[in-house]
Structure 1
Amino acid sequence: MTQYKEAHDLTMNLRGMNHPEVAGILHYIGGIHHKRGDYSDAMDCYQEAVRIYHSTLGPGHSAVAATLVCIGSIHYKKRNLDSAMMFYREAFRLNRDAYGLHHPDVAPTLKSIGTILTKKGEYDEAYDVFRDVLSIKCTLHGTDHPEVANAYKSLGNIHYKRSELADAERQYRHALNIYRRTKGEDHPDTVGARTSIEHIRYWMRERGSKQQGPPQDGGERTSGRGGTRTSDVQEV
């Protein structure tokens, strides 16, 4: 932190207050506050960085996108989902317009948008978003990569929440097979995907129909064998 503050002061003296290099340093200082959980100080740094970027590079420049994502992340952690969505969507638009859809900076922000849509129960739009994430990941990494498995798992989560258990199992199996090949049987991601499939198959047997899903209240359920088990699959 001390070194960044010294760099900030030195750059301000050399470049002036309104310079993209000053904004970049403020972004990193904000990141340190962010990691420490000092969200108010982080937000002050991020907002000043955005102001400088806008005044020097213009509001449509892609350089501001990373800072907008960080602001969105703070809103997300504070459960301000609508505000987080606004910043994520703007960052996504800037990166997409600058680099195209199939770019490494686009997919993470798109995934954040899908996560918020899922939390808000807007499953149809979330599913479309995660399909785009899957397409981007396959283009960037090929079809046999852990990031691709993560995207399949996100699609499985949507099917699960819509009680489409057979479809959820199919997506989780895609993820499981990739995790097995790329991370091994004992990796936590592999174990998590396997556990999610076990939960789904349990509820298929319990309800006796693939069209009727598990309860969605987020609590514990009795297994029918004298114990309790949690039905919820692992979220990405």
Structure 2
Amino acid sequence: MTSVSRTDAEQSVLRRLIAELENLPDAAEDLASALNDLGDVLAAQGRCDEEVLALYRRALQLFIAAGGEDQPDTANVLNNLAWVHYDRGEYRDAEQLSAEALAIMDALFAQDDLAAEANPDSLDACRRIQRGALSLYAGARRAQGDYAAAEAPLLRALAVVEEHFGEDSEDMARSLNDLGMLYKYWGRFADAEPLYRRAQAILAALYGENAPELAGIFYNLGGLQHALGDYATAETWCRRSLALQERIHTEGHPQLAVIHGTLAAILDGLGRYEEAEDLYRRALASHVARHGTEHPEVALNLSNLAAIAEARGCLAEAEALYLHALRIRERCLGPVHPQVATCLNNLGMLAPLIGKGAEAEGLFRRALDILERSAGADHPHTQICRAHWERASGKNPA
């Protein structure tokens, strides 16, 4: 794996540089840059542990001490910290940090003389920091189930990119992909697909039809087809993404675990339960090793394993797994998150099969209340849950 070897070499070089800079006077900004760069290298390897946080936090302190809080370097490190917290499932921290970064960049661009005084490369770097803050803030809001609040910053990021980087830039592809992801989660599937397709065309024109840069787009196209119920097409896209990711990441990288979990869900939909369960368990082991047991990705894979157990008729096991996933989601995401509603809906569907049919209506009602507030009345999940509740309550027994 060339890319992994390169990042290992970069890590060694940066650690030596940091050790040298620690002993030099007046080297605070260079030290801050090296600390931030090392954090970037470790994050690229899939790490989001305390060392990565400590590197970014120290870089942030040094940048602030050397140049103040209201500078691009500070905003850039805040974005990096936001991403690590997002990866850890700490979405409120990610939201706060990205909002701080965005405030810095907005204040900077509010200066009338900025464009005249700054060189074009510096301006482009600043706009990318601004775009990154908008994307991270929106991602954190989306991950907390607030889809409506995530749309405006993504539309704003798209406008920034269109004005300053052009319609055929990689920056445009990133922003289109971000907006497509939001619409997919929001249930706006018809809006998501053309955004993904446009991003795919841009990246293919820049890097080739099957370049590693397209792995994320392929993955998202697979996720969209999975949501639409076209499991065969979803599998094709997901396997294309996995093949590209395996070219750039070694076994155990968290990105591979995410794809394994999604591919498992697709295989589950195709009735290939043994393959699905194996992938779910691989993904679960990877997420637990990286995050511990309290993380949204752990809950997702437990819930999916519960569905496999239910399909096989192992109903007591399914209930235990659904309840375990529910408890993790309530602790990590709060009691009114859409993913909590998913667990409640699944438990409502299971209840009559395990002699707890009287509990089904209450489970569906709680899930429906959550989904109507967070996802909206027209979201496909809301409509499905409403139908379940109506049947359980006798309002629509058909």
TM-score > 0.5, shorter chain as reference: yes
CA offsets, 1:50-77, max 9 Å, x none?
Answer: 222223448xx86132332233234334
Letter paired with 1:154: N
1:80 maps to 2:146: yes
The offset of 1:32, in angstroms, is 5.4
2:232 matched residue in structure 1? 169
| Partner deviation per Cα, 1:136-187 (whole Å, 9 max, x = no partner) | 2322331223443432332232233223x2xx41243144146347627x76
Matched, 1:139 2:205: yes
Q: Is residue 30 from structure 1 mapped to residue 96 from structure 2 by the alignment?
A: no
- 1:200 corresponds in structure 2 to 269
Is the deviation greater in 89-98 or in 119-128?
A: 89-98
- Matches of 1:157 and 1:180 in 2, distance apart? 16
Contact 1:156–1:170 under 8 Å retained in 2: yes
Q: Which residue of structure 2 aligns with residue 66 of structure 1?
A: 132
SS in 2 for 1:100: coil
- Per mean C-alpha deviation after superposition, the further-off stretch among 61-70 and 186-195 is 186-195
CA distance in 1, matches of 2:61, 2:244: 45
SS of residue in 2 equivalent to 1:137: helix
Partners of 2:102 and 2:198 in 1: how far apart?
28
In 2, the alpha carbon distance for the partners of 1:74 and 1:190 equals: 20
* Pair 1:220-2:307 in alignment: yes
Instruction: Quote the offset at 1:124 in angstroms.
Output: 0.2
Could you tell me how far 1:40 is from its partner in structure 2? 6.9
> CA 1:134/1:227 → structure 2, altered by over 3 Å: closer, same or farther?
farther
Please say if residues 5 and 29 of structure 1, whose CA atoms lie closer than 8 Å, have aligned partners that are also in contact: no
2:179, 2:131 → 1: CA distance? Answer: 14
Change (3 A) 1:196 1:108: same
CA RMSD across the alignment: 3.8
- For 1:200, the aligned partner's letter is G
Give SS of 1:105's match: helix
In 2, are the aligned partners of 1:46 and 1:70 still within 8 Å (CA)? no
Structure 1 residue ranges, 4+ long, deviating more than 6 angstroms after superposition: none
Structure 1 residues 41 and 124: alpha-carbon distance in aligned structure 2, compared to 1, 3 A threshold: closer
| Amino acid in the other structure paired with 2:164 | A
1:97 alignment counterpart: 163
The residue aligned with 1:150 is 216
Q: Which digits, 9 at most, give the CA deviation of each residue in 1:20-74, with x for residues without a partner? A: xx4303313423552455457523343133222223448xx86132332233234
Larger % of helix: which? Answer: 2
Q: Deviations over 1:162-219 (max 9, x none)?
A: 23x2xx41243144146347627x765775565355223228xxxxxxxxxxxxx987
Alpha carbons of 1:7 and 1:197: their partners in 2 closer, same or farther (altered >3 Å)?
closer
Instruction: Give the aligned partner of residue 160 of structure 1.
Output: 226
**2:360: which partner in 1?**
none
Aligned length: 204
One-letter code aligned to 2:269: I
Determine if contact 1:23/1:50 at 8 Å carries over to the other structure: no
For residues 40 and 195 of structure 1, the distance between their equivalents in structure 2, rounded to whole angstroms, comes to 30
1:50 aligned partner, one-letter code: D
Which residue matches 1:212? none
CA distance in structure 2 between the aligned counterparts of 1:78 and 1:197, rounded to whole angstroms: 24
Counterpart of 1:183, as a letter, is E
Match of 1:11 among 67, 78, 103: 67
CA distance in 2, matches of 1:191, 1:39: 25
Whether the aligned pair in 2 keeps the contact of 1:145 and 1:182 (CA below 8 Å) is: no
Output the amino acid matched with 1:115: M
Contact 1:115 1:126 survives alignment (8 Å): yes
Does the 8 Å CA contact 2:75/2:105 hold for their aligned counterparts? yes
Aligned to 2:111: 55
Gaps of 5+ in 2: 1-56, 116-122, 273-302, 322-398
8 Å contact kept, 2:184–2:224: yes
